[in-house]
Amino acid sequence: MKPGARVLGIDDSPFTKEDERVLVVGVVWREGAVEGVLSTHVARDGLDSTEKLERMVRSSKFLPQIRLIVMHGVTLAGFNIVNIRKLSEKLSVPVIGVTRKRPCAAAVGKALRNFSDCGERLELIRSAGPVVRIGTIHAQLAGIGVDEARKFLSSFEGIPEPVRLAHIISSGVVRGESHGKV
């Protein structure tokens, strides 16, 4: 990825079990500066996140400039699982899902058994590919190789700044002030 490329960082807002829809914020970031903010809503524990993210990005003026999408994990709003491969293909932009802790496959599988469409959701999780450790974080990659992802992620200490900013903005909008770590 070229220096100065625009990156879209995505994270969801805090939510409760009573919330049917959850705010998702995207921050367009370039060389340490915020250049734009996008938002959409997804269903809590739904299956609309891939479509909603594609629509959010595609309808924005930023799509032609975005060279990478970095998300906090591959799920939004509980277990609304993003098909990062499909999103990458539809937008022709690489997608990376990052987390501080390695996702526990057994715990995820156990939680997904509570859904009537457990098989479909497990397949979405599997389609995100293997979890790779890059520095201090864990990542799942679509449309980008490990070496290129490592090159981008190594410029940050932990969670990339665009994702951290999306977290701060979404938390601040929902709670009135930002709260918690990504």
pLDDT in tens, 116-167: 999 999 999 999 999 999 999 999 999 999 999 999 999 898 899 999 999 9
pLDDT at 1: 66
| Cβ density class 133-157: b for 16+ within 10 Å, e for less | ebeebbbbbbbbeeeebeebbeebe
Once rounded to an integer, what is the mean pLDDT over residues 80-94? 98
Tokens of 147: 């070496």
Query: 40: which residues sit within 8 A by CB, 6+ positions away?
Result: 23, 24, 52, 53, 55, 56
Spatial CA neighbour of 81 closest among 36, 126, 134: 126
* Neighbouring-strand partners of residue 72: 98
Once rounded to an integer, what is the mean pLDDT over residues 41-47? 97
Looking at domain 6-175, its CATH class is alpha beta
Spatial CA neighbour of 140 closest among 148, 132, 149: 132
**pLDDT-based confidence at 110, cuts 50/70/90?**
very high
- Whole-angstrom distance, CA of residue 134 vs CA of residue 156: 11
Q: Could you tell me the residue ranges of all domains in the chain?
A: 6-175
**pLDDT-based confidence at 88, cuts 50/70/90?**
very high
Once rounded to an integer, what is the mean pLDDT over residues 59-76? 97
In this prediction the pTM is 0.94
Indicate if the pLDDT at residue 5 is higher than 90: no
pLDDT at 138: 96
